Amino acid sequence: MKLARYRQHFRAKVIPKFYSAKLHIALFVFFEVSALVIAFSFVSWSLLSPLWVLLSVMWASTFLYITHRWFLHQKVPGFHWAFKMHHWHHTFYQAHDMEYDELNDVYMLLMPPWIQAIYYVVYLPLLAWVLSFILPVVFVPHLVFTLTLWYGLYELIHWIEHLPHTHLIMRFAWARSMKHHHVGHHHPKFKDSRNFGIVEPTQDYLWGSKL
Ligand SMILES: [Zn+2]
Ligand SMILES: [Zn+2]
């Protein structure tokens, strides 16, 4: 009952009246697919590509873990807005009720459209430009492609983790296991200390935060 009241409050006070989940999803798919096509076109695939991609996955996984654990669960100067928005996510979705009631509730599930836009249009191109002066030229396009893919996977898998146990996709063991992992993170007792991995749990094993 308490959670139902919270959700009503968020819908009335936080979710903008003009918000459309369908538009938000369409925008995300447009950005993700376009960025993947563009990033892919810059990659010179070779026998060493699996190595570059593996290094990029380690980069993406570590970056996501650090951002989630230390920037979204702690008040870092300059990032209070991120802490607050993530706190909304944890208040709206709690371990005993991880699913949304209506499609517009994904406002509390996906990254806001303006962050998605900045990530694809400003962050990735800027990162590619800066890194091209520091890292091997062949590695940078592999990295940008993998970061684009990883972010898409992040949104997708996080969504899956918030689907009901009865959903068709829960027939896959990995989906059930990732949902279980993420439910642990949404438990009020463990949200600030355990299971920060969203796409996969490797970092939680490495940092000793696996529940
Ligand atoms: Zn979540
Ligand atoms: Zn969290």
pLDDT at 118: 97
Query: Which pLDDT does position 1 carry in this prediction?
Result: 63
Residues 6+ apart with CB under 8 A from 161: 98, 178, 179, 181, 182, 183, 198
Which ligand is nearest the CA of 92, by number?
1
For residue range 163-177, what is the model confidence (pLDDT) as tens digits? Answer: 999 999 999 999 999
What whole-number distance in Å separates Cα of residue 71 and Cα of residue 32? 24
Report angle CA 30, 35, 38 to the nearest 5 degrees: 125
pLDDT per residue as tens digits for the range 130-153: 999 999 999 999 999 999 999 999
Q: Per-residue pLDDT tens for 82-131?
A: 999 999 999 999 999 999 999 999 999 999 999 999 999 999 999 999 99
Distance from the CA of 1 to the center of ligand 2, in angstroms? 23
DSSP assignment, residue 105? G
Average pLDDT over the chain reads: 96
Rounded distance from Cα 94 to ligand 1 centre (Å): 8
Instruction: Give residue 9's identity as a one-letter amino acid code.
Output: H
Mean local confidence (pLDDT), 44-66: 97
Ligand nearest to the CA of 106: 1
Provide φ and ψ at 68, rounded to 5°: -65, -50
Query: What is the tally of structural domains in the chain?
Result: 1
Give percent of the chain above pLDDT 70. 100
Residue 21: pLDDT above 90? yes
Q: Ligand 2 mean position to 83 CA, how many Å?
A: 9
Domain that holds residue 95: 2-14+21-207
